[in-house]
Structure formats: C-alpha cells, structure tokens
Amino acid sequence: MTRTIVVSGGGTGIGKAVATRFAACGDRVAIVGRRADVLEKVAKEIGGTALPADLSEPAEVERVRADLAERFGTIDVLVNNAGGNVEGRGGSDGVAERWMGNFRANVLTSVLPTEAFRDLLNPSGRIVFISSIAAFRGSGGTSYGPMKAALHPYAFDLAAALGPRGITVNVVAPGFIEDTEFFGEALDDERRVMLVEQTQTGRAGTPQDIAETVHWLASSGGGHVTAQIIQVNGGAERGR
C-alpha cells in the first residue's frame, strides 16, 4: 500500500536519506525545509513533493498543513528531522539569543508541525523525531544538546496521547554522522578521528544508517515499538 510520508529538513543529509529510502519503496514523499532550490532538486531526484517553509514560524506551518491536506488528505508518517546547532551563526552572542536560536531550530521545528499535522495522521501512523547523542552527554557547552533532550519527554507524552489511535511515536538519536551539513567547515581530521574512536564499531555513521532505522520504525515490524529512544551511534554514548 502506498503511504504518504512527510520529512522535515528533507533536502540534505539525514533528511534526504530518509526521504530517498521511503521513495524507493514507492511511497509518496513530501519534503519540507527552508531552502526551496535544495528541496526542488531532491524532490525531482526522488519523485517527491517540495514544500518550502520555515517550520519555526506558526503561519508557515499552517500553510504547509493546508497544502498537505489539499494534496493528500491524510498522512501516514511524519519524520521531524529539521534542526541543527545554530549557535555561532549570525553573530548572536547573548545567552538568550543563542538558546532561543536553538529552541526555534530544534524544538519549534518539531513541535509546531507535529501539533499541526497530528489530526491528519491515519490510524497506525508513525511519528519519528530525530534527536542526538548530545541529548545524553551534552554538546560542548552549547544549547543544542538540551534542546534535543527536550524532545524526549514530549515524544513520551505524545505516544500516550496517540497510542489509542494506533499511532506510534519514537525518537532516533544519532551519533557522529558523516556526509551532513551539521559541522559545516568545523570538522577537521583530528576531530573526525576522535569521534570515530569513541565508537565501538570503529566507523562513522552514515545518513543511510539513520534512514534504515526510521524506515523500520515506520514499518509493520515496528508497530509495537513506541515511546522509545533508539540510539544509533556505534556505541559511542557508552564510550570505549
């Protein structure tokens, strides 16, 4: 059966890999993000639909909701992947500015679409949040880790609220994932080696690793898995 999948931050990295994985199975995929040109390129590649929007803005979220309802009527899977560590970008040096920046980028971009789209979800629907290893062990003094951690209890409460409808809600928390825009220009060879050495598998993660986990959670095989945080980090959170 063809399903309707919505992936935020679907133009690059993990989001693109997730969108591509579902599209490869014949699902209808809508990708949402701020950069229209990037989204349009990926949508063309995978045969999906691009819906440019800033998901930290309520009015834009409502516009996307109306578009989804008109195009598809209902949705089956919502993957809240949009986010990133925005501290240090744009010259905002105040504590409030830095924390609010990551709140908007990582909390609002997940909570606003989830609340807006939840009534569009079909029975046996799926919601997946993309968190981070930083939610467990910190993010080097930035507000990124605390903001990702805020999604965990929200997902637990949501799982309880939506469980009677047959909808599962889970969190996937990646560790170091290569081939994304997360680090920008900040990842040098020394730091990469350090991050890989923290794993027990001896390798960096890939966007495909996360895509496979999300796809399984959205499958019939993951139907009795809810209110869980799935860490995909090669054992790095445990240390070596």
Active site residues: 144
Strands, E assignment, 116-226 = 121-130, 168-174
Strands, DSSP E only, in the chain? 4-8, 28-33, 49-52, 75-80, 121-130, 168-174, 229-232
Angle at 145 between CA 183 and CA 223, to 5 degrees: 100
Alpha carbon distance 169, 131 (integer Å): 13
Query: What's the DSSP call for residue 233?
Result: S
* CA pair distance 240, 219, nearest whole angstrom: 32
Are the C-beta atoms of 174 and 148 separated by less than 8 Å?
no
Provide the pairing of β-strand 121-130 with 168-174. parallel
